[in-house]
Amino acid sequence: MRRTALTLIFLLGGAAGCADVQHRVDAFAFDRQAKSHLSEGISAYRDGNFARAQSELAAARRQPSSPALAGEILYWSAKTHLSPRNPVGDPARGLQDLALLVERHPSHPRADDAGVMVDLARRAAAADKTNQELRNEIQKLKEAHIKLEDLERKKRN
């Protein structure tokens, strides 16, 4: 009886272990597909083929992957969208990818750098907004000054 119980426990444990192993194999297969797309995306990025890079990285994002790999995919996607050499880049998307990297994968090796880039971009956007507001105020002052000069001319004549 005892031997039968131990055999049953062993078999049940083995079956559970097999399910776990199968889950790991499936996850590895997904990681392998995502890694392949990531590798192709990085290669295309380095070759300056940004449309292909974006396509490969988007395919990599659609694949389930480990957190470390998902963070790397977000990083390269952001880098591709933010590249000044990329005529089809979407800087807003790039910043969104960096923010997602920081939010979803804070322990990723690139998370700190991504956080700094997001912060700098936000500060630059705020400075641009402030600069635009100042340009608008200067324009209003110029227009007011022109009106005052016109009124003074009319008074003299």
8: amino acid identity, one letter: L
What kind of fold does domain 2-156 have according to CATH?
1.25.40
pLDDT, residue 13, reads 40
pTM, full prediction: 0.65
Instruction: Name the residue ranges covered by the structural domains of the chain.
Output: 2-156
Whole-number Å distance between alpha carbons of 69 and 65? 6
3-state secondary structure of 102: helix
Name the nearest CA neighbour of 98 among 73, 118, 84, 112.
118
Query: Each residue of 100-126: pLDDT tens digit?
Result: 999 999 999 999 999 998 998 888 878
Buried b (16+ CB within 10 A) or exposed e, 111-144: beebbebbeebeeeeeeeeeeeeeeeeeeeeeee
pLDDT class for 25, splitting at 50, 70, 90?
very low
Q: In the predicted model, what is the mean pLDDT of the chain?
A: 81
Query: Each residue of 52-108: pLDDT tens digit?
Result: 999 999 999 998 888 889 999 999 999 999 999 999 899 899 999 999 999 999 999
What would the two tokens of residue 30 be? 């997904």
3-state secondary structure of 48: coil
pLDDT class for 29, splitting at 50, 70, 90?
low
Look up tokens 């990599």; give the residue: 60
Q: What is the largest CA-CA distance in the chain?
A: 121
